[in-house]
Structure 1
């Protein structure tokens, strides 16, 4: 899913009240759920078609007190929006 696709789908939900909860599934089979707590940009490196690694953007990494504590994103990582669950 791209950000444009997400925006299109969210437009279809604009009739819902602002206090409607956003909940993330643990996996594609619905084996658990957790409310979303944050949406942030970052870098994503796919390892398989269903799993990969999160990295900070270079700007995020350099704004850390100790930027060397975090690995730079590999060259083939792509910009992504990450939806973080509460748990």
Structure 2
């Protein structure tokens, strides 16, 4: 799903702005958690259902953490990451 598709899906629901956002633990719905944060990073898919997140270099520089960083592979793409509370 792209950001445009997510926006369209949310707009189609026509819900109030104070509606809680909850994300599933997995595709089968084996547990749920409220959404706590969203951020931008790079993503490289390993399979159709699993991949790796790579911190953008600008974020690494802002956090002043040069040791905890791996450069994204050339085939990584920009992505929005949604983080659960738990």
RMSD: 1.2
CA distance, structure 2, for counterparts of residue 75 and residue 64 of structure 1: 23
Instruction: Find the counterpart in structure 1 of residue 82 from structure 2.
Output: 83
- Runs of 5+ in structure 2 lacking a partner? none
Supply the distance in 1 between the matched residues of 2:3 and 2:23 (Cα, whole angstroms): 16
Which ranges of structure 1 fall in alignment gaps of 5 or more residues? none
Alignment check: 8 A CA contact 1:42 1:54 kept: yes
Shift in Å at residue 68 of structure 1? 3.0
Runs of 4+ in 1 over 3 A off after TM superposition: none
Aligned to 2:49: 50
> Aligned-pair distance for 1:63?
1.6
Aligned residue for 1:66, secondary structure, equals coil
Aligned residue-pair number: 86
* TM-score after normalising by structure 2: 0.91
